[in-house]
Chains A and B, each alone.
Chain A
Amino acid sequence: MSDFFSFDTLSLHAGQTLDPEFGSRAQPIHQTTSYVFSDTDTASSLFNMERGGHVYNRISNPTVGVLEQRVAALEGGSAAVCVASGMSAVFCAITALVSQGDHIVASANMYGGNISLLKNTLPRFGITTTFVDPTDLNAIEAAIQDNTKIIFGELIGNPGLSVMDIESVAQISKKHHVPLMIDGTFNTPYLCRCFDYGANIIVHSLTKWMGGHGTSIGGVVVDGGNFDWGATNKYTTLTEAYAPFSGINFWEEFGPSAFATRIRAEAMRDIGPSMSPMNAFLLLQGIETLSLRMDRHLSNTKEILQYLDSHEQVSWVNHPDMPDHNSHNIAKKYMPKGAGSIITFGVKGGRDAGQAFIENVKLASHLANVGDAKTLIIHPATTTHSRIDAKALVAAGITEDMIRISVGIENVTDITQDFNNGFRAAKKFI
């Protein structure tokens, strides 16, 4: 018998303190901007981080705080900070560590927004990135420079679906004393808890499978509490006195949650990408059923892979659970339940056939999102990854004929019948 609550139980309860006044069973939505101080000493204590609690919603909120503690619990992290979107999570995590003149090593096979941030936006502030094949360990190590502050990748690359061997990459990051940051959006902690394999920071777009219902944008940064920021003099944002907060030294005073505390003290205050309490409530509702939904996502994915693999109009199918996928064995190691519910495939007939397919499915929704309970479909080359150049498209594993499906939890026969309509329309382009 375990000493601790299971994943499923934490998904429902972690972080929540029962409302002492009315006994509300659901987490109340604290829709307020600010909090009344009981006295001046309490007020000054809160401002000086001597007392836990809430001051102003840009910094923290009780409903958002429950979501933060729930995600930290599910990931096995020491602390978490929720923000307005997955992209703001990536931005806040990076800027908590990286300053002008610093460098990042990043996977070339990542969500287009991540690529654009690293390639276009951060260089304007003197922060550069070397992009590498996330499956090439030698390339990752070779790209590390003296000023490298973060190694960043996705466990399951979007949309190429290559799987990073995070345990091996973590060994490299540890050797060079650089934290490994993983975007775990596609795997969720239900499929893989990346801290267990040596990752130091996890970011999520909570909008996707974690929330799971396509209602709310949100992101989170989870602090693994497992990186020794003081072992070198590289991470001065955490190890040196921070003047705007009375000279606070995050590493000295907050130890395993130093990184998360820096984000709350700096990014939430100075940049302000706060999550609304309503969104936190909706995302909490989603997380309550994460394991149930993920099991159905995976079983549907398995059947749709078989359907597509045997379909005469499909030129190729890409998913790490396919035996011939180049990440198959690594995927089995890190995600034995299944490597997520994103499938990419090519329709015979090229771009026109793909377009016909997408326009003739009715159940699957054509939109720019993944991880909804409903099945979603898109053409990445003309949408999510349309702003990156041809070379980067190839590096990200994207082709002109690629269709990306985010497999939902509908009855799987209804999904395949819907796809039959799409294939009938696409047939005339072969």
Chain B
Amino acid sequence: MYLTVNEKKVFASTGGKPFEKNQPVVLFLHGSGLDHTFWGLHSRFFAFRKYSVLCLDFPGHTHSDGPPLESIEEMATWVNDVIIEIQASAVSVVGHSQGCLVSMEYVSKFPELVKSVSFIASGYETPVNSFLLDAAENKPRNAIDKMMSWCFDKAGHMHQGTIPGNSMIAGGYKIMQGNVPNELFADLNACNNYKDGKKAASNIKAPCQLIIGGKDKMAPRKSTMALAETLPSSTNIEIIQESGHMVPLETPNQCRDLLKTFIFTNNPTS
């Protein structure tokens, strides 16, 4: 569905069901250069179990009006604007990678409606090396190559995927191709410049879940465990050993089962 936020068109996939503001909301926030389709299987699952689902396209990405936002702080404020626009009352936030940084900043600043937070494949900082930043700005195809190569473990490189016939790495590649050069560079630059993650994460009081890919090269274990230590001590830490960085695509069934248990518990439907 399309929303109007700050006089701009915003796209959100609702998982195949109309958005009902009176139901608990599951808000999915994608990573750098990606879009709502990243959450395909997960969004549909919750939408058909009496949750209202919003898989947003961040500004400038795929179906949402641009330009892309330039900082994680701006993105968090924008997420809050979206939540106000849809009049949600109970929100479970699910972020992947850059979406995690936005989640921690958003939940830290606007905690009132948040019932749970699921972080997937992230630390509290995401430093981006200069080669990748430069490539994203000047040679976006090279940047996508590197990101896709680093994001997926072997199964991705062998074009596997749990949806019959689908190549998850090619799907990711096609989405990113539609979001270059401006959006990908803006995203990576925003990640690189975000330095308040530790402070934001330590402010979070809502129940948290951290899902980690055992073979993640983009968010290495040292980084994700540092986030785990910063989040509330009750945080559920889950490691899916066979996954790389793209956990919701590489191991969708395990990831969804973890999200289901956590969200059903902390943000139940009536």
Residues of A within 8 A of B (CB): 3-5, 10, 13-17, 45, 48-54, 59-61, 64-65, 68-70, 72-73, 76-82, 225-226, 230, 246-249, 252-257, 260-261, 264
Measured between alpha carbons, how far is A256 from B177 in the docked complex, in Å?
11
Chain B 216-270 residues near chain A, CB threshold 8 A: 252-253, 256
* Inter-chain contact A81/B165, CB cutoff 8 Å: yes
B48: A residues at CB distance < 8 A: 48, 50, 246
A-B CB contact pairs (8 Å), 30 listed: A5-B157, A14-B159, A15-B160, A51-B253, A51-B256, A52-B163, A54-B164, A60-B165, A64-B164, A65-B165, A72-B165, A78-B166, A78-B170, A78-B171, A78-B173, A78-B174, A79-B167, A79-B171, A80-B165, A246-B16, A253-B43, A254-B37, A254-B40, A255-B40, A255-B62, A255-B174, A257-B165, A257-B166, A260-B165, A260-B166
B43: A residues at CB distance < 8 A: 253
CB-CB nearest 6 A-B residue pairs: A52-B162, A255-B37, A3-B149, A73-B159, A68-B165, A60-B164
* Inter-chain contact B164/A65, CB cutoff 8 Å: yes
* Inter-chain contact B16/A13, CB cutoff 8 Å: no
Who on chain B is nearest to A48 by CB? B48
Q: Mark B34-62, 1 if CB is under 8 A from A, else 0.
A: 01110011011100100000000000001
Measured between alpha carbons, how far is A49 from B256 in the docked complex, in Å?
13
Give the interface centre of A5, A59, A257 by most chain B CB atoms within 10 Å.
Answer: A257
The contact of A77 among B148, B160, B170, B252, by CB within 8 Å, is B170
Chain B 107-156 residues near chain A, CB threshold 8 A: 145-146, 148-149, 155
Question: What distance in Å separates the Cβ of A126 from its nearest Cβ neighbour in chain B?
Answer: 30
Question: What distance in Å separates the Cβ of B54 from its nearest Cβ neighbour in chain A?
Answer: 13
The contact of A3 among B13, B146, B158, B170, by CB within 8 Å, is B146
A59: B residues at CB distance < 8 A: 164
* Inter-chain contact A51/B13, CB cutoff 8 Å: no
A264: B residues at CB distance < 8 A: 164-165
* Inter-chain contact B164/A10, CB cutoff 8 Å: no
Measured between alpha carbons, how far is A49 from B42 in the docked complex, in Å?
10
Measured between alpha carbons, how far is A43 from B85 in the docked complex, in Å?
36
Question: What distance in Å separates the Cβ of B131 from its nearest Cβ neighbour in chain A?
Answer: 13
Give the interface centre of A3, A50, A65, A73 by most chain B CB atoms within 10 Å.
Answer: A50
* Inter-chain contact A72/B252, CB cutoff 8 Å: no
- B198 at the binding interface (Cβ < 8 Å): no
Given A4-B145, A65-B164, output 7 extra A-B contacts at Cβ < 8 Å. Answer: A4-B149, A50-B256, A52-B161, A52-B163, A68-B165, A226-B177, A256-B174
* Inter-chain contact A53/B165, CB cutoff 8 Å: no
Measured between alpha carbons, how far is A60 from B44 in the docked complex, in Å?
20
Q: Given A49-B44, A72-B167, A77-B167, A255–B162 Cβ distance below 8 Å?
A: no
Measured between alpha carbons, how far is A257 from B172 in the docked complex, in Å?
11
* Inter-chain contact A256/B175, CB cutoff 8 Å: yes
Measured between alpha carbons, how far is A69 from B164 in the docked complex, in Å?
8
Give the interface centre of A51, A53, A253 by most chain B CB atoms within 10 Å.
Answer: A253
Q: Given A69-B159, A260-B165, A225–B253 Cβ distance below 8 Å?
A: no
The contact of B165 among A5, A51, A79, A249, by CB within 8 Å, is A79
Who on chain A is nearest to B16 by CB? A248
Question: What distance in Å separates the Cβ of A102 from its nearest Cβ neighbour in chain B?
Answer: 25
* Inter-chain contact B163/A257, CB cutoff 8 Å: yes
- B15 at the binding interface (Cβ < 8 Å): yes
The contact of A70 among B41, B62, B159, by CB within 8 Å, is B159
Question: What distance in Å separates the Cβ of A127 from its nearest Cβ neighbour in chain B?
Answer: 25
B252: A residues at CB distance < 8 A: 51-52
B171: A residues at CB distance < 8 A: 78-79, 225, 255-257
